[in-house]
Amino acid sequence: MADLKILITGASSKTAEALIKLFKYETGHKLILLSSRINKLKQYEGYDYHRVNSLSFKDIKTLCYDMKPDIIINTAGFTDVDKCEDDRKTAWDLNVTLVEYLASISRVIDSHLITFSSDYVFDGNRGPYIEEDRPNPINFYGKTKHAMENACLSNLNKITVVRTNSIYGYSSTGKVDFIRWVLYKLEQGYGVNIVTSQYCNPTYVEDIAVAVNKIITKKRTGVYHIGGTDWLNRYDIALKTARVFGYDETLIKPVAVAELNQTAKRPVKGGLVTLKAETDLGIKLTSLESGLMALRHQLRDNKFSFVVK
């Protein structure tokens, strides 16, 4: 495939870093990165970097019209599920309005828009879910993602929505995810209370990059589910993490969801069936154990640089 011009929004995200790494080492695509933050991804080099906040819609529009990327990958998102309940305006602006903007920009400049959604569009009564299952979000984050999907999928543009869940993996900027949070606590010798409900299939971030690359080369549109091969509850995920990293499992205490006082309600049986992605994109997804072992290897020489979002 000819080299493409790919613009990535929210470039400091965990997902963007995996994409940047893959495109740099496996393709000749030209990258244009948009981020609100100073550039902490200097080790990858060879891209254009623009300090643009994803909420500055007009600046994004001007840049897109100037650069005319073949592909726009939107990784920006208000991903803190509890904060979404309290700051609904920012959550809506980032998770819905931005994507509506990008969809209309991509139609004008004829680019392929790839954007991310979540298993939280489902209510969690009977997951894991297939692409055709009916969304019924139970928290505001899920509602924003559902609204975004509707805006994208009612549009006849070249748009792909990648639903994923519980992303984990290496982040040189020290982004926190559930597994990194568990590791940080165990490393410090702190006890952690983890719910025995809330099932998902944690997604190794590099699998997302591989899937997106296939979506681009195969020019696929519509909805794709990406997740890991193991469907587990949060407590079992934490135990597996402790085992792979050699931390004290007894620090992990099982608790009922009511004991956590989470602001947002979470789906109980969430997670995503990935058969469509495996067969149609021809990808192999990573087991939690393999993903954790890869992460352990990547972190071996790096101290945790814990950054609170």
Ligand X SMILES: NC(=O)c1ccc[n+]([C@@H]2O[C@H](COP(=O)([O-])OP(=O)(O)OC[C@H]3O[C@@H](n4cnc5c(N)ncnc54)[C@H](OP(=O)(O)O)[C@@H]3O)[C@@H](O)[C@H]2O)c1
CB of 230 to ligand X, least distance (A): 15
201 binds ligand X (CB under 6 A): no
**Closest by Cα among 117, 123, 119, 120 to 148:** 117
164 binds ligand X (CB under 6 A): yes
27 binds ligand X (CB under 6 A): no
The residue among 28 and 263 lying less far from ligand X, judged by its C-beta, is 263
What residues contact residue 227 under an 8 Å CB cut-off, 6+ apart? 119, 128, 164, 165, 166, 200, 201, 202, 203, 271, 272, 274, 285
15 binds ligand X (CB under 6 A): yes
**Closest by Cα among 38, 108, 116, 112 to 74:** 116
94 binds ligand X (CB under 6 A): yes
* Residues near ligand X (CB under 6 A), total: 27
Site for ligand X in 107-136 (CB under 6 A): 116, 118
Q: Which of 69, 71, 72, 79 binds ligand X (CB under 6 A)?
A: 79
Q: Which of 6, 7, 8, 12 binds ligand X (CB under 6 A)?
A: 12
Q: For residue 271, what are its two tokens?
A: 């997670």
138 binds ligand X (CB under 6 A): no
Catalog residues that contact ligand X under the rule CB under 6 A: 10-15, 35-37, 53-55, 75-79, 90, 94, 116, 118, 164-167, 175, 177
